[in-house]
Amino acid sequence: MPELAKATLLVASNNQGKIQEYGDLLQDLPLRVTWPAREGLAGDPEETGATFEENALIKARYFARLAPCYVIADDSGLEVDALGGAPGIYSARFAGPGASDAQRNQLLLARLQGVPSEKRAARFQCVIALVRPDQSESTYCGTREGCITLEPRGDRGFGYDPVFFVPELGKTFGELEPEIKNRWSHRAQAAARLLAALKSEHFRPS
């Protein structure tokens, strides 16, 4: 088991897009941001929760048992009204094990074939679970409303970003510069609440 200082924040994910976003979103904290593979931490806990919050806590608690530092995990996904809120908590598994982002987007667009633009409302949801070195826990939520495009647009971001259109910006997340996305995304909202909470606790690294 690696010896991680308490002044470390472990992002419980090996998704490099997500890790980069958190590195940017939480750069104001005096923490060294790292991730499991970098620290030799193995494991992929089964996400058996029925909500984003439950799944985020499952992941955060798992890695908090392995690393005595600040641990965050998020569970996030896309909810599409015309699909009854699907794919929801199954967003990453929507097209089956091992599917690529492009394959998930293709399946989503196929499921929405024939659905007019005015009925393609959707939202990204994100819940970040934090486990502190003293094992206390809290969660922080973020939501971004939008709609699903008729075809992918843009090659930035990851996941469903190329098909998620934000009317206020006139662009999909896949078309946004990272610094713009980090002001508008569901993850940015949740991370801002996490950051505010840590600062309000007079966070200082040990």
Q: Residues 102-109: what's their mean pLDDT?
A: 97
pLDDT of residue 202: 61
| Distance from C-alpha of 135 to C-alpha of 145, rounded to nearest angstrom | 33
Interval 14-67: pLDDT, tens: 888 888 888 888 888 888 899 999 999 988 899 999 999 999 999 999 999 999
Domain enclosing residue 61, as ranges: 8-200
Domain presence at residue 152: yes
Q: Pick left, alpha or beta for residue 136 (phi over 0 → left; psi -120 to 50 → alpha; otherwise beta).
A: beta
- 64: domain CATH number is 3.90.950.10
Domain presence at residue 193: yes
Give me the percent of the chain exceeding a pLDDT of 90: 74
Residues annotated catalytic, as ranges: 75
pLDDT of residue 37: 93
pLDDT band at 1 (very low <50, low <70, confident <90, very high): very low
Domain presence at residue 87: yes
Domain presence at residue 1: no
Q: Is the pLDDT of residue 125 over 80?
A: yes
- What is the total count of domains within the chain? 1
E strand segments, 63-132? 70-80, 121-131
> CA distances (Å), 56 to each of 9, 12, 128, 203, in order?
15, 9, 6, 22
Q: Is the pLDDT of residue 162 over 90?
A: yes
Q: Is the pLDDT of residue 121 over 70?
A: yes
Domain presence at residue 206: no
- The pTM for the full model equals 0.88
